Every structure is written in C-alpha cells, then in structure tokens.
Structure 1
C-alpha cells in the first residue's frame, strides 16, 4: 500500500487534502437540510395516517379500517409520551408474518380478519362462539394507555382499545375446575407466510392463571390509537397483559379455553430455560442471553440516550398481590 507523506516531514495532511471551508460549510448545511427533511417526513407520515384513521381509510393495503368509539379511562393511563403510530405499527414481533421487526408491516396485509369467530370453551357453563362484532360489543370499549415491555429489551407506550378480559370470563361462567385460561391464535399457511419458518410449533398458544386473567389490567383488545387493530398488531382481537413480557399478549386469537391444568405455551415449550410460564417483567431475573435490568424505549433512540431502568411488573405494582409467597426467580 502506498502511503503519501508530507515532503516537509510533518505529521500533517497535504494542503490539497484539506476540504475548503466553503465546501465544508455547504456540506454541513446539506446534512442539516436532510435531517430536517427526515423529521418533517416522519411528521407528515404521522399526520397523514392519523387523518386516514379518522376517515376510516386503511394504511396497510387491506380493507377500510373502522374507528372505535371508546372513552379514555383515566385509571389506566400514564404521563409518559406515547410511542409514535409509525413505530408502533412498523416495529413488531409477529413471527407468523416473519422474523424481522419490519416483516409484519410488510406481510400482514394477507391476513383476512372477516369473517372471524372466537370459540370460548372448556371448563365453562356457557360456552360461546362469537363473531368479532359480537365480541367487540360484549362490554363498553375503553382506551387505556399501557406500557408494553418486550423480553428482548425494548418497550413502547400505546393507547389500546378494549375492555377487561374479566367481562368475557364472567359471561361464560367458568366452573370450579377452571384454573387457567389458554389462548390459541390463528395458524393458516395461506395467510401467514412466517409459519413456514418452523421457529415454533404452531399454532401459537399462551396462557394465564385464572386470577391473572381476571385482573382488571388484563385487556381483551380490539383496537389501538382509536381504530381497529392493524393486521400487524394482532387484528382483529388480542390480549394485552401489561405487567408481563410482550409475548404473553397473544395476537389474532381464535380460541379461548378454560383448563384445569397449566397450558403448554409456545415459547415455554420451545425454550423453557429462556421463557417461563409466568414471564412477569422482573429486572432481577435476566434472560440467559441478556440482562433485563434496563430497557430501550422505542422512539428514544440516540447514541447519548440512556436506557431506562426496568420496573418490577413493568411498573404495575397493583398486581404484586397475585404473587405473594411465590419465588419469582423460580417461577419466572
């Protein structure tokens, strides 16, 4: 390799290699204009999509979306800034549509959300089979702003729309044998290209203990940001359990079953050392491959931006009474 040296023997660049001041300053102006343009573009995207939602127009090349009439419930809110609509709909885990975070937004347009029915069965006195409209109208819809923490170390703050899962549970009248609630999600290769990956034993199954499912925070969710759920976020119905890691909030549910025994859940079966049945957010119990002590809030990226400290139960301390006397390192 040829290394040029200054003939004066000084450790300085050649004069011809120094960028002229006017060029340097013009470059800085250009970079600033590009950054401003990106910020404006992002803001315009957000405005356009919110306007589209307000008008009932789909932003994901699917059927027209529907606004949801839901009253904000101040008992379930936060003063933390909300995650942007774009981030919440374009940075997702939904392996049925791909393994990368951007795959669901790209691929989930193939999901057909109507007609859609959810079977509620098992240890109940009144088993039901509800279409999505009947399910949506079973109880008054509320908007609740919840934090959701992913086991991978990132989090979001999203305005969800739905009602307490306990409303549905009371409607089917569980028997005394019902100790757990099992959720099974759609697994259709014709609609979900990610099923070919074999990363899990499909369909996706999750579960909660009965008292967890009955807690007012557990939300049967049919919307977000005032509209029906986008496909990539679990349309047309999912559960949001904000004190647990995100994979405990199953998407695109087709069956809810009440059981005597603890359900065999997808990630717990696939990797039991990494994903426990309870999976409560706990900064003191690390994932085998990374720490859970801190988290990255999506939208707060930047080289100098400090990560947030992870809060026990994701900050929802009202659920602590559900686990009194439990060894939460053993039952992780």
Structure 2
C-alpha cells in the first residue's frame, strides 16, 4: 500500500530535493521500481557501510550514523544524528534524510538519539503513515527503541542505524563489521495483531558475535518495538491523567488531559487528520504533521517533525527539547500549546 497522501501533494515545498549516492550521482527510484522489495539487512549494510563508518569517525559524542539504500542497492542518503538532535525522514525538503519516492509521505518517520552515559540510544517513530516500517525480524512496527545496530525497511528502502561514539571504532572492511555486530534481541511491547496471534513471522537469525567493536560482549543489543503515536477521539479522556495540554488560537481554546501511557506512545500535532491532536485548517502556517510530544522515561520531549515554520519556545526555535513541568510552545502564526505535568495524577 502506498504511503503517499493525495492531500499532501500541494503542501508547501512537497517534493523531494536532490539526493545523491556516495559517488555523487542522482539515485532517484524509478516508478517501476516502487514495488520492489527493500534490500535485505546484509546487502543494505554492505552498501551503506563505508559512508556510515566515515560519518561514525566524525562523531564527537554518542550518535547514530544513518544510511538509506534503495531497491537497486544504491545509497541515496546518509547523515550523522548526534545525541539530542532529531531526525525526520520523508519526501519533504525539510526532512534531514529525504527519500526519493512517491510511496513515502512528506514526513514519514521521526527519530531521536539520546545518550545513555557514553552509549547512544535510538528512538524511532512512524508518523501514523499508511506504510509503517518493518524491523529486521520482518514485523511491521510503529515505534521502537534500540541500543545497538538497527535495520528498518519502508517500502522499497532499507535503513541502517549504526551506533557511534568517540570510544567506539568500527573495522575498515564492511564484511568484518557485519561479522562483528552483536546479535539483536527483539522485545515486543505492542498488542499482538490478529496475524501474529495466528503464528506471526519467524525472526531472522542474527549474525554471530565474532569480535570487532563489540568484542567480548555477551549480551545482544536490544530492539524494543512499540505502538504508533496515538489518535485521540473528541470524547476520550484518560482514566488517570498525568498532564494537561491547552491549545489556544486567538480566542479559541481547548483543553485535553493525557495519561502517561498516551504520552509514551506519542502525540502528533498538526493540521492533518492522522495527528493525535488534529487542528484542521485553523492555521495554514501549521504543517500537516508539525511536531511530536512523547514521553521518554520521566521526560516529555517536544520534537519538530520537519515543519515548515518551526516550533518556538521562549522566542527561539526548538528542534528537540525536554519540556519543563509547566511550559509553553508557539507554532504556526498564532497557535499556543501550554503543557502542564500534574504533581498528583488525577483519576
């Protein structure tokens, strides 16, 4: 199924910008290739590795090097995403990693790297698209957290997320790096689908541990899959409220209570109906998918998902920041969001 939304076609600068592979040539996917499967994990890793290792060598703090490979096994983009920096993936020119395919939504996925001591930890969310990503065990997924090398596929594209830090050195050869990775252990925190209840899909056997940058590690890296950001019905109220969100546009005001569980899945805010808090056409300077509110541990993060006009906090642009227990965000031309964490959750 295509992830392309007809209503998005005319939004802002809704076309993918110039994307080049590691030889400096255009690597757009031809229309007839849109239905091809994504490259498998090993193939995509070997294609992307040289560029990912180059980016990893430049890391000055915990980070993930991210590369995307198309169905013809060509590297079409790669970035270094350091701790605290968001990553948006999609067709839109505001996305840090752009995907040259009409099957991909303008803003398709969002990611955030956090530092766990000296080690990086990856968080990724599908932005409620029609084409969720799949993990290395071939299961469809709406969100995940990972502390090690991570493979994802969306449609005809494969993505590799390679952890890096000043203390971590990857081998020179891609084949050696592939063999050195720890096995991946998958932990599913989603409610099982009907197909999964009937048996699901067998996980791919992880590569064996054979030394390299992870030499001596006995534990596998962990990939925890989660549900997509939530949609809120007009009449829904949580059983136990953990915080409140107040939206204001001129004299129009609205208030919603949210639970800790809802925030852990994430709330998308924007004009589009796939957002958990959909604003409709009240402000045309709000992007269809503008930003994400999500709880990670005890913190509530506001993450700009590649919006055209940005999000402001205390008068300055925000990319990804932890909100205070009482905080205010401004976006669009006149939208205000007030966040308040409740000192004592309300039943």
Structure 2 length normalisation: TM-score?
A: 0.25
Higher helix content, 1 or 2: 1
Task: Identify, as 1 or 2, the structure richer in strand.
Answer: 2
TM-score if structure 1 supplies the norm length? Answer: 0.26
